[in-house]
Structure 1
Amino acid sequence: MIRLEELIPKERYNLTEEFEKHASDHLAIKWQDADGHREEITYNNLLKRANKAANSLTELGLTKGDHVLVIMPRLIDSYVMYLACLKAGIVIIPSSEMLRAKDIQYRLHHAQAKAIISYSPFCQEVDQVTDLPSSLKHKIVLGDAVNSWTSLEPLMDAASDQFEAADTHRDDTAFFPYTSGTTGNPKGVVHTHGWAYAHLRLAAREWLDIKKGDIVWATAGPGWQKWVWSPFLSVLGQGATGIVYNGRFEPEKYLAILQDEQVNVLCCTPTEYRFMAKSANLDSFDLSHIHSAVSAGEPLNEEVMSVFKQHFGIQVRDGYGQTENTLLIGTLKNVDVKVGSMGKPMLEEFIEIVDEDGNPCAPGEIGDIAVRKDLPSLFKHYYKDEERTKKAFCGNYYLTGDRASKDADNYYWFQGRSDDIIISSGYTIGPFEVEDALIKHSAVKECAVVASPDPDRGNVVKAFVVLTDPALTADESLVKDLQNHVKQLTAPYKYPRLIEFVSDLPKTNSGKIRRVELRAREQQVTQ
C-alpha cells in the first residue's frame, strides 16, 4: 500500500536527480530507425551530453523559470534536450512535430515562450508563424543548420560536460503541456518537479513495474505528455534501457522489435495492440521476455487482450490517467483482472466517483471520475486560465470529465466522456480545433465534429458539414479537399476521417449546436 508521504519529495528538489542516481556505463537508450540505422548511449554519456546542452542554453541567456517550446522527434537528442532544460530549471512546453504554424503561434504567445528548440526538418513550419511574441528571444536548432536559427551543436561541442543543477523547489514548474478542450484553445497544464516524483512512484514502479536493468519499449513520441510519462520519466527514472524506434507503425515490425530486443516491459496504445493482434504471423514471434504489458489512452478491447494471452501468455493491463495527472486507475500485476474494467484506483482514498453535487456514488451508479485536489500527482492549474481551472474542480475534487461506475469490489468501469472531447488512437482531440479549421474552407457554412466509434482506433473524428452552396457536389473529391485543408491548418492527426454532408445541424433554442445529439446518432449507427 502506497502512503501519501511516499509521493512527496524533499522541499528543494530537481527531478533530474532521479536520472543521475543511475549514472553508469549501463545503456540508457537503444535507438533505431526504419532504415536500419542504430545508435546507443549510456547513462554516463547521456548525462554528460545533457550537461553540455544545459551549459549551452544558459550561455544563450536562458535561465530558471523560462518557458521553452520543444519540438523534437524520436531521437536520443530529445532525451538530451529535456534533461538539459530540466536541470537548468527551464520549463518545457512539449510540442509534437505534427503541430502547424497556427498551433505553434498560439502556444508561443499564450506561454510567453522565451525560446523554441526544434529539430531542423520542423523549422520550416515554425518559420510560417507570422506573429512571433515579443517574449521570444531565441530560435534554436538541432540537426542541420537553418537560416536565422542558432545551431546548438557547435555550442555543445565547446561546452563543459559538468553542470550544477538549478536550485529548484518541488513546487517549481517543470512541464507545461497543452491539452485540447471542448471549446476555445488548448489549455496549458502546469506540472511541477514534485509531480514527476509522484508519477515515478505511482506509474513507473507500481503499474509499469519497471525494474532497474529492464529493457522497456514505451512507444509514445516526444511532444506528448505520455512520452513524458513513460519513455522519459519512467524508463530513465528507474535505471532501465529504453527502446526507441523512429519509424512508421507496422504491426510485424513492432513484433519483431519486441522479439529481437528481448523487451521486458511494453507500453503502447490500444490501437497498436489491436493491429498487432490482427497479424497473421503471431505464432512466429517469441515475446517470452515480456513480464509487463500495459495499455493506456482509451479502453482496450476484450478480444485483443485474449489474443495476447492466448498466443504469448501476456496479460495486457489497462491504465487510466490524463495530461492533468498521472496514472489514477489501473490493473496491477498479480491482481485479479476483470476484463473490460479500468482496474482499481491507485490510491483509493484519493480517487472517487461522484455525483453532480460532488458526493460519492454508490456501486453501480454512474458518475464523474474525481480526484482529491491534494493528490501530489495532480496538476497545479491551467496557465493563465482561472475560469477553466475553477470549472475543473467541484468542492474537494478535480473532475476528470470522464464518466464511470464502480462495482462492489471497487473495480471501475468506463462509461464515456462527459463532454465532447474525442479520444482517437490515444490522441486527445478537441472538436473546436477541427471545426475552426473546417470553417475556414470556402465551401463550409457550418460544421460540427464528434467521435464516431471505430473498431481499430476506438473512435475517429467525424465532421457533419453544411455547405455554403447546396448546389456543390458533395462527393469524395470534396471530402478529400476538406481533409487536406484541415491537415494544413492543424496537426494532421486531428483531421476528420469521416465527413457527412447535411442540410442543417441540430441546435438548442439559443442556437448552440447539439453535439450530444450527433454523438448519440453515431452510437446508434455503429451498433
Structure 2
Amino acid sequence: MSPADSTEQSTTDVTREFREARDFLVAHREDYETAYRDFRWPHFDRFNWARDWFDALAVEQPEVAALTIVEEDGEVNSRTYAEMAERSRQVAGWLTQAGLQPGDRVLVVLGNTVPLWETMLGCIRAGAVMIPATTLLTDADLADRIERGGVRAVVTSSADTGRYAGIADHCIRVAVGEPVPNWLVYDDSAQYEGPVPEVDTAANDSLLLYFTSGTTSQPKLVEHTQVSYPVGHLSTMYWIGLQPGDVHLNVSSPGWAKHSWSNVFAPWNAGATVFLYNYTRFDAEKMLRVLQTYGVTTFCAPPTVWRMLIQADLSAVKVQIRECISAGEPLNPEVIEQVRNAWGITIRDGYGQTETTAQIGNTPGQEVKLGSMGRPLPGYTIALIDPSTDEISDDGEISIELAPAPVPLMRGYRDARELTDDVMRGGHYHTGDVASRDEDGYITYVGRSDDVFKASDYRISPFELESVLIEHPAVAEAAVVPSPDPVRLAVPKAYVVLAAGHEPSRELAGEILQFCRDHLAPYKRIRRIEFADLPKTISGKIRRVELREDEAAKVDSGQTTQHAYDEADFKEG
C-alpha cells in the first residue's frame, strides 16, 4: 500500500468513527437516558475536520445548502456543501501560496459574509490557527489581539484595513471587498488553480484561540484543538436537537465562541444548513417574517433577543420551527411561558462556556423544569463542588470531572499556566459558575461565583431576583447587585431597563418594588431600584462587576441619582 493509500484509508476510518458517534446522538435525540449512558467520544490521533468530515458531506449531499445568508434588502447568498468545500480548498491553497504555514495564527475579523465561512474552512485545511474576533473591537483591542495572539495573518473587510496601520505590517494581510494598496484581495482566491494543502493535523494541534469577553477581568486567551471544538460540538448538536436537513438560525455575532458553536460546527456536524439573517439593527417583526418565510426549523437566540421577540405578536406568524433554544445567559421563565403560549414550543435552555462546548442542557423530548438549565449532556460528567469545603454536593460550583477529561475541554489558557492550573485543580475543571441540583438531576443556575452575595447572612442569587423582576410588564431587562448597608452588610439593588412605552417615575419604582415584595421571600426583597442602562461587554453580557463598583462608590460618597429609589421612600402597603 502506498503512503497515499494509507492516508486515504486512515481518513476513511476517521470519517466512519466520527459518523458513528454523530449518528448515535441523532438516533437518540429524544432518548436522553440512553444517549447519556452509552455515548462515548471518538478519539483520534490525527484529525482535520474540513478533510475528514466536511468533504464527506460535500460528496454525499453536494446540492444541499451549507450556508444561506439573507440580507435586510432581501438579497440571498447561498452556497451548497460542494461549493463550500471547493471554495475552501481554493482559499487554503491561495493563503499557503501567500506564505501561510501550518501553525500560523490568523486573526479573522469579518461580519456575517460568505468569506467568513470559506476562510474558516480554508484555515482548517491549511493547518492554521484561527483567532476569530468581533468587528466591534476597539483599535487598542485589535493591537492587543495581534500582539498577545502572535498573529501572522489578518483577514478583514476592506473598509476596516486602515485600523491595522502600524500594528499588522508584519502580517499577511487580506482585504475582503474592494482592492486596498498593500493588501491581498480576497476575491483573487476564486481564480486560484494551484495545489491544495491537505495538512494531516494531529488531533491535539491547536485550531482556535478565543479571547473571552471579560465580564470581570482582562480577556483570557482560550486555546482549542483540532478536536475539542469540531468533535466536541457533537454535544451542542445534541442539545439543539439538530438533524440532517435542518435549517438552523442562530442569532450570534461573529468573533464569539457561540458563533462557532451554532453557526459552524454543530449544524455542519449534523449536515444541516447554517442560516443567517444579516441585519444592522434588530427588529422583532422582521425577524419573525424571516423565520416564517425561509422555513427555519431550529432557532437559537440569546435572552436579550427573546425578550424583544415576545414584545411582538408571536401568534401572528406561522413558523415551522421544531426546536427553540436559548443560550448566553440564563433565560427567565416568563419568556419561556410566553413563547410556549404563542407557538406551542418550549424554549430549551442550556449552559456552556468558551472553554467548552455545551455542557448542560434541556434536550429534545424531555421534561423542561422552568428555571433549570437541564441535565449534563452526553460526554460530560458534572459535579457541583462546595467552594468552602471542596466537597461534591447538590449546591456549588459547576465543575467537570477530568478522569478522563472530555474531548471538548480547552487545552488551557494560552501563556497563562498558573491560571490554567487553578481552574483544573483537584481533578476538576472549575467553571466559576454556581448552581444547584435537584433530586431528578436537573441543574439550576445561581450565578457567577463573583456575582452571588450575602445580605443579612443569606446567600442571594442575582438571577433568581432578576427572573422575578422581568415578569413585571414594565421591565425589559434587570441586573441585581449588592448595595452596601450598615445594618444588613448589603441589600439587593435592581438596575432596571424599562420596556417600550414606559418612563422612569417614582410611582413606577414603587409599583415594581411592591411587585417584588409580593413575589419574593422577605430575605430576598429588593430594597433599592434605579432606572438606568446596563453596562455590557461587546458580546452583550451584563457587567455586574461594574455595577457593583459604581454602587459601592455611590453609597460611600452619599451620591444620589435622578431615577434611584429606596424602599424607605415609600410607605409600607
Which TM-score applies when normalising by structure 2?
Answer: 0.72
Q: Does 1:311 pair with 2:342?
A: yes
Alignment of 1:508-519 (within 5 A): none
Once residues 258 and 320 of structure 1 are traced to their aligned partners in structure 2, the CA distance between those partners, rounded to angstroms, is: 24
Deviation string 1:469-490 (CA, Å, 9 cap, x unpaired) is xxxxxxxxxxxxxx9xx99xx9
Report the equivalent of 1:195.
Answer: 228
Gaps of 5+ in 1: 422-452, 465-482, 508-520
Segment of structure 1 superposing worse, 158-167 or 332-341: 158-167
Contact 2:106 2:155 in 1 (8 A): yes
Question: Which of 18, 22, 43 is residue 53 of structure 2 equivalent to?
Answer: 18
Change (3 A) 1:502 1:262: closer
Equivalent residue letter for 1:251: A
Contact 1:461 1:495 in 2 (8 A): no
Report the equivalent of 1:356.
Answer: 387
Once residues 39 and 306 of structure 1 are traced to their aligned partners in structure 2, the CA distance between those partners, rounded to angstroms, is: 35
Once residues 390 and 311 of structure 1 are traced to their aligned partners in structure 2, the CA distance between those partners, rounded to angstroms, is: 47
- CA-CA distance at 1:333 after TM superposition: 0.8
Once residues 403 and 496 of structure 1 are traced to their aligned partners in structure 2, the CA distance between those partners, rounded to angstroms, is: 17
Report the equivalent of 1:171.
Answer: 204
Contact 2:173 2:183 in 1 (8 A): yes
Once residues 241 and 476 of structure 2 are traced to their aligned partners in structure 1, the CA distance between those partners, rounded to angstroms, is: 27
Report the equivalent of 2:241.
Answer: 209
Once residues 232 and 413 of structure 1 are traced to their aligned partners in structure 2, the CA distance between those partners, rounded to angstroms, is: 28
Alignment of 1:259-274 (within 5 A): 259-274=292-307
Report the equivalent of 1:341.
Answer: 372
Once residues 283 and 87 of structure 1 are traced to their aligned partners in structure 2, the CA distance between those partners, rounded to angstroms, is: 45
- CA-CA distance at 1:176 after TM superposition: 0.6
Question: Which of 248, 254, 261 is residue 229 of structure 1 equivalent to?
Answer: 261
Contact 2:46 2:203 in 1 (8 A): yes
Question: Which of 79, 88, 113 is residue 117 of structure 2 equivalent to?
Answer: 79
Q: How many residues align?
A: 450
Contact 1:48 1:162 in 2 (8 A): no
Equivalent residue letter for 2:438: D
Deviation string 1:336-394 (CA, Å, 9 cap, x unpaired) is 1111111011148621101126744333xx31000123111110110011121122122
Segment of structure 1 superposing worse, 35-44 or 79-88: 35-44
Q: Percent identity?
A: 30
- CA-CA distance at 1:74 after TM superposition: 0.6
Deviation string 1:115-138 (CA, Å, 9 cap, x unpaired) is 1110222223333xx5458xx421
Report the equivalent of 1:427.
Answer: none
Contact 2:68 2:274 in 1 (8 A): yes
Report the equivalent of 2:41.
Answer: 7
Change (3 A) 1:354 1:492: closer
Equivalent residue letter for 1:219: V
Deviation string 1:5-33 (CA, Å, 9 cap, x unpaired) is 73233211111122222111111112111
Which secondary structure state, in structure 2, belongs to the residue aligned with residue 92 of structure 1? strand
Equivalent residue letter for 1:222: P
Once residues 337 and 524 of structure 1 are traced to their aligned partners in structure 2, the CA distance between those partners, rounded to angstroms, is: 36
Equivalent residue letter for 1:203: T
Report the equivalent of 1:275.
Answer: 308
Which secondary structure state, in structure 2, belongs to the residue aligned with residue 199 of structure 1? coil
Which secondary structure state, in structure 1, belongs to the residue aligned with residue 400 of structure 2? strand
Once residues 297 and 523 of structure 1 are traced to their aligned partners in structure 2, the CA distance between those partners, rounded to angstroms, is: 31
Contact 1:13 1:170 in 2 (8 A): yes
Once residues 393 and 309 of structure 2 are traced to their aligned partners in structure 1, the CA distance between those partners, rounded to angstroms, is: 38
Alignment of 1:44-59 (within 5 A): 44-59=82-97
Q: Does 1:324 pair with 2:355?
A: yes
Change (3 A) 1:137 1:459: same
- CA-CA distance at 1:523 after TM superposition: 12
Which secondary structure state, in structure 2, belongs to the residue aligned with residue 122 of structure 1? helix
Report the equivalent of 1:110.
Answer: 148
Alignment of 1:444-455 (within 5 A): 455=475
Contact 2:213 2:539 in 1 (8 A): no
Name the Cα RMSD after superposition: 3.3
Once residues 303 and 502 of structure 1 are traced to their aligned partners in structure 2, the CA distance between those partners, rounded to angstroms, is: 28
Report the equivalent of 2:74.
Answer: 36
Report the equivalent of 1:64.
Answer: 102
Once residues 114 and 77 of structure 2 are traced to their aligned partners in structure 1, the CA distance between those partners, rounded to angstroms, is: 8
Change (3 A) 1:391 1:523: farther
Contact 1:54 1:163 in 2 (8 A): yes
Contact 2:70 2:276 in 1 (8 A): yes
- CA-CA distance at 1:223 after TM superposition: 0.7
Equivalent residue letter for 1:311: A
Q: Does 1:219 pair with 2:251?
A: yes
Question: Which of 372, 388, 391 is residue 401 of structure 2 equivalent to?
Answer: 372
Which secondary structure state, in structure 1, belongs to the residue aligned with residue 232 of structure 2? helix
Change (3 A) 1:118 1:458: farther
Contact 1:358 1:395 in 2 (8 A): no
Once residues 90 and 538 of structure 2 are traced to their aligned partners in structure 1, the CA distance between those partners, rounded to angstroms, is: 32
Contact 2:54 2:268 in 1 (8 A): yes
- CA-CA distance at 1:239 after TM superposition: 1.3
Once residues 193 and 208 of structure 2 are traced to their aligned partners in structure 1, the CA distance between those partners, rounded to angstroms, is: 25
Deviation string 1:274-306 (CA, Å, 9 cap, x unpaired) is 111110x3221001x211111111111111111
Q: Does 1:290 pair with 2:328?
A: no
Which secondary structure state, in structure 1, belongs to the residue aligned with residue 190 of structure 2? helix
- CA-CA distance at 1:87 after TM superposition: 0.9
Q: Does 1:381 pair with 2:412?
A: yes
Once residues 492 and 8 of structure 1 are traced to their aligned partners in structure 2, the CA distance between those partners, rounded to angstroms, is: 32
Larger radius of gyration: 2
Deviation string 1:416-449 (CA, Å, 9 cap, x unpaired) is 111269xxxxxxxxxxxxxxxxxxxxxxxxxxxx
Equivalent residue letter for 1:42: T
Which secondary structure state, in structure 1, belongs to the residue aligned with residue 291 of structure 2? helix
Change (3 A) 1:460 1:79: farther
Equivalent residue letter for 1:32: V
- CA-CA distance at 1:148 after TM superposition: 2.9
Question: Which of 430, 440, 444 is residue 409 of structure 1 equivalent to?
Answer: 440
Segment of structure 1 superposing worse, 354-363 or 215-224: 354-363
Once residues 109 and 257 of structure 1 are traced to their aligned partners in structure 2, the CA distance between those partners, rounded to angstroms, is: 40
Once residues 253 and 155 of structure 2 are traced to their aligned partners in structure 1, the CA distance between those partners, rounded to angstroms, is: 16
Once residues 346 and 194 of structure 2 are traced to their aligned partners in structure 1, the CA distance between those partners, rounded to angstroms, is: 43
Which secondary structure state, in structure 1, belongs to the residue aligned with residue 412 of structure 2? coil
Which secondary structure state, in structure 1, belongs to the residue aligned with residue 131 of structure 2? strand
Equivalent residue letter for 2:301: C
Contact 2:357 2:408 in 1 (8 A): yes
Change (3 A) 1:203 1:522: farther
- CA-CA distance at 1:145 after TM superposition: 1.6
Contact 1:97 1:223 in 2 (8 A): yes
